[in-house]
A and B are shown apart, each in its own frame.
Chain A
Amino acid sequence: MTRMAAGAPHIPAQTSVQKVMAQVLLALLPGILAYMYYFGVGILVQITLALLFAYTFEYLSLSARQQPLRNYLCDLSAAVTAVLFALSLPPLAPWWCSLIGMLFAIVIAKHLFGGLGQNRFNPAMVGLAVLLISFPRIFTHWSPPAMLVDNPLSMLEVLRTIFTTQPPPGMSWDAITQATPLDQLRTGAATGLLVTEVRQGPVFGHFGGLGWEWIANWYALGGLWLLWRRVIHWRVPVAVLLTTFMLTTPFYLFDPDANPLPLQHIFSGATVFVAFFIATDPVSGSATPRGQLLFGAGVAIIMLAIRRWGVYPDGVAFAILVMNMFAPLLDQYTRPRVFGHPR
């Protein structure tokens, strides 16, 4: 009777990596649908491509590292990376964007660092940053929101655009794409236009970018659901959003002509998306309560700094990567006081 006694607890955890990832994907659904509604079916193609490449690379990396395929291919973490990445691409971006992005995300950022849970940087953002640096032009070709397009591209035209990397015959890039609201603000500012004047432009909605503001709402809905499910916790999103708001408000109040509305910052670009889905990535973030607040605030500060002074219109990817570097430090210095020990 010298059986190895199994240690307590004897009951299993009610959660798993797979369940967590599945819920994240589910929470993204409203945002994706809204995205499709406002910017066409291109995003679906991008997601499909990214998933395809992600799982190809995941399979190859796992095999090369001789990891148990069944467990790891089912954990859905590659799917989350792929979808988050695809949602950050312009809907009509060429097909090889996903190839390059996923190569860097899955193979380099994830598996070279040791696979699931070991990556120091958010894989999706690594993929995105590589593209941003190497092919910045791609990110100027965003589709205009549906309300501004008389006859949207058909599925076939979208596919052709993505795979031939050329606009459909008889059309030019300018005809089917448009600078993003953030881009326009930046170029507007560069040419000396007042923000209020730029905001007269057609791509602006009530307080954010046209279409963008609604997508942001749907993302927020998914994010709130995740909060309610306790998959993510309030600290990171609140820190990101609150910091964004609090940093932009004084600028706006001080000089509303030169600085966009605080809500504009939140509802255009990827702020909400980042707050709920990107900055909340556990692996590359901080795990302590105070660390998470600082992490979120840091992301917001760097993002705004890049928007204001950097060469890139939206600095989310870089903001996340920079804060990823600090995450272990944050964990170390924001360690909670242990029960029964003096402060």
Chain B
Amino acid sequence: MTQLWPTLIILGPAGLLIGIGLSIAARRWQDHSDTMIERINKLLPQTQCEQCGHPGCRPYARAIARGEADINRCPPGGDTTIRALADLLGKQVKALDSSCGEHKAPLLAVIDEQRCIGCTLCIQACPVDAIAGAAKWMHTVIAAECTGCELCLPPCPVDCIDLVSLADQPQRRIPAHVQIPDLAA
């Protein structure tokens, strides 16, 4: 028993020190860094739809990096994005938080140019400046830039914006026996 004391005296504080060091390190490297935010942001679909409750994908990425938001809040990304995030952050994959919205196939906004009154409200709402037009002139959506975020819909006073499916023509149909995670999403 007398043998034990020196050991305890040496190892005890050493252990304590190491423990403190580790916890500081953990806090320190709990990655708030911009690179972590960038890496998370890279996995988000960049629809900028704000359904996650953040004003855009990057803010959501920042919230995730800080541990302030869960990883299952992005409807446009769906399961694929959740899986990628879980992978990156070493977290459990979980189902999409349905309070944020449902996953949908990618969409594209189209303005009915006959009905548009040129009020510019949609331009102000569009997060990626994908609408071209000036006051009193008819507006149009630049198809290649629109993310289908739907943010331009509510402000339009004449409801002249529609969403159409953006699905590219598939090269081939994939037979039912092919089971791939991305296909389930």
**B is bound to A:** yes
Write the residues of chain A forming the contact surface with B, with a CB cutoff of 8 angstroms.
4-7
Q: Tell me if B's interface is mostly helix, strand, loop or mixed.
A: loop
As a 0/1 sequence over residues 155 to 185 of chain B, the CB contacts with chain A under 8 angstroms (1 = contact) are: 0000000000000000011011000000000
* Docked pose: A4 CA to B173 CA in angstroms: 7
* Docked pose: A7 CA to B176 CA in angstroms: 10
Write the residues of chain B forming the contact surface with A, with a CB cutoff of 8 angstroms.
172-173, 175-176
- A172 CB to closest chain B CB, in angstroms? 52
* Docked pose: A5 CA to B170 CA in angstroms: 14
Can you name the residue of chain B whose Cβ is closest to the Cβ of A6?
Answer: B175
Set of chain A residues within 8 Å of B172, measured between Cβ atoms: 5, 7
Set of chain B residues within 8 Å of A4, measured between Cβ atoms: 173, 175-176
Can you name the residue of chain A whose Cβ is closest to the Cβ of B175?
Answer: A7
* Docked pose: A268 CA to B170 CA in angstroms: 61
Can you give 9 contacting A-B residue pairs, CB < 8 Å?
A: A4-B173, A4-B175, A4-B176, A5-B172, A5-B173, A5-B175, A6-B175, A7-B172, A7-B175
6 further A-B contacts with Cβ under 8 Å, apart from A4-B176, A5-B172, A5-B175, are: A4-B173, A4-B175, A5-B173, A6-B175, A7-B172, A7-B175
- A337 CB to closest chain B CB, in angstroms? 27
* Docked pose: A4 CA to B176 CA in angstroms: 8
Can you name the residue of chain A whose Cβ is closest to the Cβ of B178?
Answer: A7
Set of chain A residues within 8 Å of B173, measured between Cβ atoms: 4-5
- B105 CB to closest chain A CB, in angstroms? 18
Set of chain B residues within 8 Å of A7, measured between Cβ atoms: 172, 175
Set of chain B residues within 8 Å of A6, measured between Cβ atoms: 175
- A271 CB to closest chain B CB, in angstroms? 42
Can you name the residue of chain B whose Cβ is closest to the Cβ of A3?
Answer: B173
* Docked pose: A6 CA to B175 CA in angstroms: 6
- A13 CB to closest chain B CB, in angstroms? 15
Can you name the residue of chain B whose Cβ is closest to the Cβ of A7?
Answer: B175
* Docked pose: A4 CA to B170 CA in angstroms: 14
- B183 CB to closest chain A CB, in angstroms? 13
- A7 CB to closest chain B CB, in angstroms? 5
* Docked pose: A7 CA to B175 CA in angstroms: 7
- A3 CB to closest chain B CB, in angstroms? 10
- B143 CB to closest chain A CB, in angstroms? 27
8 closest Cβ pairs, A-B complex = A7-B175, A5-B173, A4-B176, A4-B175, A6-B175, A4-B173, A5-B175, A7-B172
* Docked pose: A6 CA to B176 CA in angstroms: 9
* Docked pose: A5 CA to B172 CA in angstroms: 9
Set of chain A residues within 8 Å of B175, measured between Cβ atoms: 4-7
* Docked pose: A5 CA to B178 CA in angstroms: 12
- B142 CB to closest chain A CB, in angstroms? 33
- B17 CB to closest chain A CB, in angstroms? 38
Can you name the residue of chain B whose Cβ is closest to the Cβ of A5?
Answer: B173
Can you name the residue of chain B whose Cβ is closest to the Cβ of A2?
Answer: B173
- A322 CB to closest chain B CB, in angstroms? 31
* Docked pose: A5 CA to B176 CA in angstroms: 9
* Docked pose: A5 CA to B175 CA in angstroms: 7
- A178 CB to closest chain B CB, in angstroms? 53
- A5 CB to closest chain B CB, in angstroms? 6
- B6 CB to closest chain A CB, in angstroms? 39
* Docked pose: A258 CA to B73 CA in angstroms: 73
